[in-house]
């Protein structure tokens, strides 16, 4: 195996990629060449414009995490951050004030915005930013086009009884504490896959759906027209790892997002939502659930998806590398002989 492609969101995707990279370096991934390339196709539907700057939360989380610049306690933004600009903006009374725009982080957004305004596509900007961070993976935005996830929430003050907010406002300002009625992916249907995205899937030896948010991270990537087809057409096995463990997301807000699209919050339910590659529109050959969800293995298998139960908590790089190894073993074992 020489090419592994991962469809990732921010924190869950970044942690998985760290473990995968660790397994590659330690030689613990069965059948994977030591010089294999990891390509990460990242969600860009969380992106937003703020104070005239283009901010790409998931791309930056992956880049900073793998480039060892992340604040690992917060799970986003730069380590040893300061907040002078944010405080100064607040002193001017400039809205919005809820978004954590750190001084160090700001440099990334300035470079990105300048390059975009000079006419470079996001994919080239990302490549340029990665020259500094050396994440050890090829990082590709899912699309160069503008796509934004918006969330409809209940608002008794609005004539329609609801209000639509940007996904970041839902997550950061509202802490995902109000029920999401629907999620809308503005621009997704008209988006085209970024350069190299389709090839990274069709020419891969293995495609992995890591434990990322199934709706607003992996769901949006698969929703870029052409990506679902590429997943269907590739000769590589497609294996996913459940972001739901024991009926809850571990961290994040996968629960709220699944509920908003009417999918049960369960490891098996998420697999059925993605669907078997043998079924129309389905993308999965195999799916890992956590040990405590072992009772759901039969259900997933009944949907035509190979399944096994293993520990799925990304507690450290070694544990995460072992999850990746288990995913590889699951798609490498003969049909019916799920480990």
Contacts with 222 (C-beta within 8 Å, 6 or more apart), sequence order: 7, 228, 231, 274, 283
Partner from ligand GDP, Ca ion, none contacting 230, C-beta within 5 to 8 A by type:
none
Alpha helices in the chain (DSSP H): 11-26, 57-66, 84-91, 103-117, 122-133, 167-168, 197-202, 218-223, 227-233, 254-260, 267-274, 297-302, 317-332
Other Cβ atoms within 10 Å of 160 Cβ, number: 8
The answer to whether the CB of 76 falls within 8 A of the CB of 97 is no
Determine, following the binding rule CB under 6 A, whether residue 137 of this chain makes contact with ligand GDP.
no
Q: Up-side HSE of residue 213: CA atoms within 13 Å toward CB? A: 28
Q: How many residues bind ligand GDP (CB under 6 A)?
A: 23
Residue at shortest CB range from Ca ion: 10
Four-residue CA torsion sign, 9, 10, 12, 15: positive
Q: 148-159 burial, b if ≥16 CB within 10 A, otherwise e?
A: bbbbbbeeeeee
Determine, following the binding rule CB under 6 A, whether residue 256 of this chain makes contact with ligand GDP.
no
Partner from ligand GDP, Ca ion, none contacting 44, C-beta within 5 to 8 A by type:
none
CB of 74 to Ca ion, least distance (A): 14
Binding mask 18-57 for Ca ion (x = CB under 5 A): ----------------------------x-----------
Partner from ligand GDP, Ca ion, none contacting 314, C-beta within 5 to 8 A by type:
ligand GDP
Contacts with 87 (C-beta within 8 Å, 6 or more apart), sequence order: none
CB of 7 to ligand GDP, least distance (A): 10
Cα–Cα distance for residue pair 164/321, rounded to 1 Å? 39
Could you say which residues in the range 224-253 bind ligand GDP, by CB under 6 A? 242-243, 245, 249-252
Other Cβ atoms within 10 Å of 108 Cβ, number: 23
CB of 151 to ligand GDP, least distance (A): 13
**Binding residue for Ca ion (CB under 5 A) from 6, 9, 102, 303?**
9
Binding mask 160-199 for ligand GDP (x = CB under 6 A): ----------------------------------------
Cα–Cα distance for residue pair 224/219, rounded to 1 Å? 9
Could you say which residues in the range 55-74 bind ligand GDP, by CB under 6 A? 58, 61
Partner from Ca ion, ligand GDP, none contacting 45, C-beta within 5 to 8 A by type:
none
**Binding residue for Ca ion (CB under 5 A) from 10, 223, 240, 252?**
10
Determine, following the binding rule CB under 5 A, whether residue 148 of this chain makes contact with Ca ion.
no
DSSP-assigned letter for residue 207 = E
**Binding residue for ligand GDP (CB under 6 A) from 3, 44, 123, 213?**
213
Q: How far apart are the first and last CA of the chain?
A: 20
Binding mask 140-159 for ligand GDP (x = CB under 6 A): --------------------
Interface with ligand GDP (CB under 6 A) = 8-13, 58, 61, 211-213, 217, 242-243, 245, 249-252, 254, 312-314
């Amino acid at each position: 195996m020489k090419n592994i492609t991962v469809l990732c969101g921010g924190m869950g995707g970044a942690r998985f990629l760290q473990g995968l990279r660790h397994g590659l370096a330690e030689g613990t991934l069965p059948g994977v060449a030591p010089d294999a390339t990891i390509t990460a196709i990242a969600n860009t539907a969380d992106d937003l414009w703020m104070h005239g700057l283009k901010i790409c939360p998931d791309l930056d989380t992956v880049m900073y995490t793998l480039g060892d610049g992340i604040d690992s306690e917060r799970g986003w933004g730069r380590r040893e951050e300061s907040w002078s600009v944010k405080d100064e903006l607040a002193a001017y009374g400039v809205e919005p004030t809820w978004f954590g725009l750190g001084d160090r982080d700001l440099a990334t957004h300035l470079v990105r915005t300048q390059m975009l305004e000079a006419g470079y596509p996001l994919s080239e900007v990302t490549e340029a930013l990665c020259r500094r961070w050396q994440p050890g993976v090829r990082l590709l935005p899912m699309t160069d086009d503008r796509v934004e996830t918006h969330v409809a929430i209940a608002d008794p003050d609005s004539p329609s009884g609801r209000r639509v907010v940007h996904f970041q406002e839902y997550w950061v300002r509202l802490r995902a504490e109000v029920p999401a009625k629907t999620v809308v992916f503005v621009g997704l249907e008209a988006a085209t896959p970024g350069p190299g995205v389709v090839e990274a899937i069709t020419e891969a030896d293995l495609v992995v759906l890591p434990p990322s948010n199934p709706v607003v991270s992996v769901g949006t990537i698969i929703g870029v027209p052409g990506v679902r087809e590429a997943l269907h057409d590739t000769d590589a096995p497609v294996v996913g790892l459940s972001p739901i463990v024991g009926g809850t997301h571990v961290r994040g807000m996968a629960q709220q997002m699944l509920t908003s699209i009417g999918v049960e919050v369960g490891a098996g339910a998420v697999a059925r939502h993605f669907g078997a590659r043998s079924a129309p529109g389905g993308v999965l050959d195999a799916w890992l659930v956590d040990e405590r969800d072992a009772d759901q293995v039969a259900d997933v298998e009944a949907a035509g998806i190979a399944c096994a139960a293993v520990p799925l908590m990304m507690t450290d790089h070694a544990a995460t590398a072992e999850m990746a190894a288990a995913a590889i073993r699951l798609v490498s074992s003969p049909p019916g002989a799920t480990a």
